[in-house]
Structure 1
Amino acid sequence: MIERFEFGGERWRGFHDKPSPVRPDGTILVFRAGNIPMLSDEWFMADQVVEVFLAFLGGAPYPPFIHWRLAK
């Protein structure tokens, strides 16, 4: 899961064009702090997460595979 926060504003969740066939909508991502229900298009591979993080860190545009929607 990739989320983006606007300072003093809204929270956005990343998604992509290839929903996971093995993780249907409603699959729960479990953390020590709680559970997060996910949509099938919100699951990313580790190398994709790294690419998005490095773009953010370097002030570069995000990769074209990631899209954003308001987090619920």
Structure 2
Amino acid sequence: MVGSSKTGSTEQIAGLGLLVKSMRRGLMPVIPGGKGYRLPLISNDMFAKFIVQVFRMEQPAIQTFTLVEDKRA
């Protein structure tokens, strides 16, 4: 979960951004990466909307939720 879906901005100067840059440069081969790899991320505002929806459910029929679509979808 990172940043805003509207701006794409993350409020960090290192952390995940540094990890992604290192992966793209091939500096961290231990961590999965490459042209065919997809890093499943969700924006913080979308995650907040999801939490509100779950709290509004009277009694959720399921307890497991998928927030990031499958790569094939």
Return the TM-score normalized by structure 2: 0.29
More strand by proportion, 1 or 2? 1
Give the structure with the larger helix fraction. 2
